Amino acid sequence: MFRSVISFAVTLFAATSLGAQQPPYKRHVPAALLKQAKVSESAAVQTALHAVHGARIDALELEHEDGHLQYSFDMKTPGRDGIDEVNVDAITGKVIGKAQHESAADERAEAAAEKKAAARKPGGGR
C-alpha cells in the first residue's frame, strides 16, 4: 500500500511539472545540428523554463551563434509585454549569459532587420 501511495505521488508530481504544462511551440531544429547536441531538447526546455519564472516557450531554434551550438528560446510571460530570450548551450546544458527581455517594439525592429537582411541574400531570401 505504501509503495502504491509513493508511486502515485511521483506520477502526480511528474504530470504537474513545468514541462507538462508547456503548450506546443514553434520549433526550428535542423537534424544535422541535433546530431551534434549532447543535451536533449527536453532537458534544454526544462532549463529555459526555470530561467524565466512563469514564462511559456513560444519558439525554439537550435543554431550556431557566437561560437556556441545553442538552443535559443523565445519565451512569453503572461501579463508582460514582449519576449524573454534564453539561450541554452547544447553541449553543456547551461544557460548562456542572462535572459534578455525584448519589448514588442524591439521584436518588430528585429523582424524588420531580419527581413531586410534576407532580401539582400542571393535568391531574395527564399
Identify the three-state secondary structure at position 60.
Answer: strand
Confidence label for 118 from pLDDT (cuts 50, 70 and 90): confident
Examine residue 98 and state whether it is found in any structural domain, yes or no.
yes
Provide the CATH number for the domain around residue 88.
3.10.450
Count of the separate structural domains present in the chain: 1
Task: Give 55's contacts (C-beta < 8 A, 6+ positions apart).
Answer: 49, 75, 76, 77, 84
Domain with 28 in it: 17-120
Examine residue 23 and state whether it is found in any structural domain, yes or no.
yes
Examine residue 92 and state whether it is found in any structural domain, yes or no.
yes
Confidence label for 125 from pLDDT (cuts 50, 70 and 90): low
Per-residue model confidence (pLDDT) at position 26: 96
